[in-house]
Amino acid sequence: MSGVISPDSLAKVRLIDAVALHLPAAALRPWREALACRDGPIITLVSEQIAPEGFVIERHVCVDTTASGGNTTLLVQAA
């Protein structure tokens, strides 16, 4: 989407991962509050003019080996 969305509308928009808004820091509060009130995952508000790292989504996968006593060989045998 290109343009400016109101904070009220932003609170209702679904299927977004980040919001880019270039305004003075003091003016960002309504948009920050709208994003904070949303249910679901945390949505990043990128407000720096040049901040490509703000548009990177990092996901992690953790395999808990404590059920097998930390022995990964047992996990491989179970799979």
Tens-digit pLDDT profile for the chain (79 aa)?
667 788 988 888 888 888 888 888 889 999 999 999 988 888 888 887 777 776 677 778 887 766 656 666 766 775 5
Q: Number of structural domains, the chain?
A: 1
In a domain, 67, yes or no: yes
pLDDT score recorded for residue 35: 92
Is there a domain that residue 33 lies in? yes
Report the distance separating Cα 45 and Cα 47, nearest Å.
6
Handedness of CA 20, 22, 25, 28 (dihedral sign): negative
Does residue 28 lie within any of the structural domains? yes
Question: How many Cα atoms occupy the beta-carbon half-sphere of 1 within 13 Å?
Answer: 15
pTM over 0.75: no
Note down the domain range covering 53: 7-78
